Amino acid sequence: MGFTTALIRSAFLVNAAYARSGREFGVTPQQGQLLSILRGRPYGMTELGTVLGLAKSSVTGLVDRTERGGLVRREPDPDDSRAVRVALTPHGGELAERFYTETHRRIEQLPGSLSAAELETLTDLLARVVDDHDVSAIFMEADDSPR
């Protein structure tokens, strides 16, 4: 298997972990990603679009649906009176932590057949790829404090 095929197939495995967690917690994978991002702090709509790689209308729809579920709320942006930020509700914060923990557990199981040394090498190489592309800190280690 070549690099591109392996990386794309591994992305499908990660997406499947998000989908399984989403089904378990009653949210879409995209809503789960949104909740995971918001664990750290509230985000502006434009910032969410950048982090999620979505157009403004798609972010608005995602936030609308998640807000209707009582998981997020819009609040005034203290730095820009014309803008809003999206924050977790208390229920959304609790669900976000559970979703995040379960998704992290599922993803941690993916390289099950690798030795500790192989896993360390893979982690180092993937971290370099991520660092080279300035990827937002969407998903942190489970024991990292998001706040």
139 lies in some domain: no
Q: What is the pTM of this model?
A: 0.83
How many domains are contained in the chain? 1
Residue 53 belongs to some domain of the structure: yes
Contacts of 137 (CB under 8 A, 6+ apart): 40
At residue 138, the pLDDT reads 63
Asked if residue 109 is part of any domain, the answer here is: yes
Is 141 part of any domain?
no
Structural domain includes residue 65: yes
Task: Of 48, 47, 94, give the one whose Cα is nearest residue 70.
Answer: 94
Range of the domain at 48: 3-132
Q: How confident is the model at residue 145 (pLDDT cuts 50, 70, 90)?
A: very low
Q: What is the mean pLDDT of residues 74-92?
A: 92
In a domain, 64, yes or no: yes
Domain contains 147 = no
Is there a domain that residue 8 lies in?
Answer: yes
Beta bridge mates, 74: 86
pLDDT in tens, 14-45: 999 999 999 999 999 999 999 999 998 999 99
DSSP of the chain: --HHHHHHHHHHHHHHHHHHHHHHHTS-HHHHHHHHHHTT--EEHHHHHHHHT--HHHHHHHHHHHHHTTSEEEEEETTEEEEEEEEE-HHHHHHHHHHHHHHHHHHHTTTTTS-HHHHHHHHHHHHHHHHHTT----S--TTS---
Instruction: Assign residue 111 the CATH number of its domain.
Output: 1.10.10.10
